[in-house]
Chains A and B, each alone.
Chain A
């Protein structure tokens, strides 16, 4: 390199400072709840509050439901498009990317008006309906990531051969998806699931506008009422995001089908040429 790396070091140092100072400041602030001492009192206060636990429980259940629903929606579709309907691929892919274009506030506005009390599908009139609408909102937000993750997973395995093999052994379509395709994309699916989880657990806009007692609105409320607890929450949220991203990386790069499928294909080819 003929450019002096001093400049690179300087840039990296400034960027690291910008990234790390807020983290350090927040951590420092979160320890100062008791005057003159450094304690974890703010964390204890947050973790022992009933509202925290109920909000976290609510959002966890909603996010997990969204992950299951999203997987049920995305896995068969991505598989089917690759296997039978490659022509439809641009349409399906475009629809999966739409939530990146439409801001959540616009989306939930549409839901509230479209599925309000005077609609053909009045979902906002019952408790169950609103919760379902919330989960649907989370599924929609995570659609781009789930579809991308699963589709990448599918591209690594030879689904045509696997499907034919399953079929020739007498498996039904359903059976093929459940016991052949699903285990092969499990890693990618889990990777997408962790991203979904980290997005929907602290989601604020949709949760708040549907008046659900989720974690996002809870955090905003704490931010308005208290001084030190928000900093503790921010540190915990950062650690949570980090763990989710780490697990996502771990599962996204671990592809059991990758070694398995080409081997099988080679064997088949060998058998065919013999």
Chain B
């Protein structure tokens, strides 16, 4: 009864103010245009993340404390963070170095332009070719019966699995990650390489600098913030990778995303709030790397005016 009369009263009130609406509507209208987007972002980006962060500062009975976060330091969880960080660091370093070499060869190395176009197109595809199919491709290549494994064994007499290599180990995974990290590096660093003006090189040469001196004192210092920024993005990219590693190892390789995945599936940590703490740790690492990237990019853009 009360509810109905309340609703009725509100509707009446709305109608009564109807005549004065256009004025106030014009003020509010502009904000209304982005309201659906902001609502969506609030409901499906901000709120779920705040919920997880709040959970990380609570114990399972709902009281606020730091015990959940502190229990991230127990060996199993700290170990998976350490593993994730090492794997991301190694794959991002390999990706950054080889990607930089390839991009330099393509842009400054005097290769024909069709080759440059082909590599750029391929990089666009390969950087998006992550996930489950990539895992399958590498099983067919470097798995126990993969083509490359067999050729190395039968033609070159090199049995890599007997020598201790496994596709499903740390270095095997790093090689797989490289398949999307390197092309991503090529795509991201290309604008910076194109921004190196030939005049700088000419000026250095006319003052008698060698190629080495040009790179040591001009080229590399200008490129450094860009390279470091791209490295950080590659790091974040590797840190969040789940599908590839899951398809490769069946979820038995305990990097942080896998542990969180298993925890969501079936509370394997026997404490629902530990999942929140894991997620909070991931968010924190992502925020730190992305903020640093942002700062470095602003520094790199100084030279691109």
Residues of A within 8 A of B (CB): 1-3, 5, 7-9, 11-12, 15-16, 18-19, 21-26, 28-30, 73-74, 76-77, 80-81, 84-85, 88, 92, 95, 98-114, 121, 136-137, 139-140, 195, 198-199, 202-205, 209, 216, 219-220, 223-224, 230-231, 233-234, 237-238, 241-242, 244-246, 249
B147 contact set on A, CB distance < 8 A: 21, 24-25, 28-29
Question: When the two chains form the complex, which single residue of B49, B131, B211, B239 contacts A216, counting CB atoms closer than 8 Å?
Answer: B131
- Minimum CB–CB distance for A223 against chain B, Å: 5
Contact (Cβ within 8 A) A15 B36 = no
Q: How far is the CA of A249 from the CA of B120 in the complex (A)?
A: 12
Contact residues on B (Cβ < 8 Å of other chain), bracket: 35 or more
Contact (Cβ within 8 A) B132 A223 = yes
Other than the known A109-B48, A223-B135, what 18 A-B pairs have Cβ atoms closer than 8 Å?
A1-B109, A12-B102, A22-B142, A26-B140, A29-B147, A74-B37, A102-B49, A103-B239, A110-B49, A113-B48, A199-B128, A202-B133, A204-B132, A223-B136, A234-B137, A237-B129, A245-B128, A249-B124
Majority SS of interface residues in chain A?
helix
Question: When the two chains form the complex, which single residue of B36, B121, B282 contacts A106, counting CB atoms closer than 8 Å?
Answer: B282
Question: When the two chains form the complex, which single residue of A15, A22, A113 contacts B51, counting CB atoms closer than 8 Å?
Answer: A113
Count contacts between A and B, CB distance < 8 Å: 237
Q: How far is the CA of A175 from the CA of B69 in the complex (A)?
A: 53
Contact (Cβ within 8 A) B261 A209 = yes
Q: What are 30 sample pairs from A and B whose C-beta atoms fall under 8 A apart? A: A5-B109, A11-B101, A11-B105, A12-B102, A15-B182, A19-B126, A22-B137, A23-B137, A25-B146, A25-B148, A92-B38, A95-B41, A98-B41, A100-B290, A103-B242, A105-B260, A106-B283, A107-B48, A113-B55, A114-B51, A121-B43, A202-B132, A204-B242, A205-B242, A205-B243, A223-B247, A231-B139, A233-B133, A234-B140, A238-B137
Contact (Cβ within 8 A) B136 A198 = no
Contact (Cβ within 8 A) A101 B55 = no
Contact (Cβ within 8 A) B260 A106 = yes
Contact (Cβ within 8 A) A22 B141 = yes
Q: How far is the CA of A8 from the CA of B283 in the complex (A)?
A: 39
Contact (Cβ within 8 A) A21 B243 = no
B211 contact set on A, CB distance < 8 A: 2-3
Q: How far is the CA of A50 from the CA of B7 in the complex (A)?
A: 52
Contact (Cβ within 8 A) A111 B242 = no
Question: When the two chains form the complex, which single residue of A9, A73, A107, A114 contacts B36, counting CB atoms closer than 8 Å?
Answer: A73
Contact (Cβ within 8 A) A9 B141 = no
B178 contact set on A, CB distance < 8 A: 18
Which of A16, A103, A111 has the most chain B CB atoms inside 10 A of its CB?
A: A103
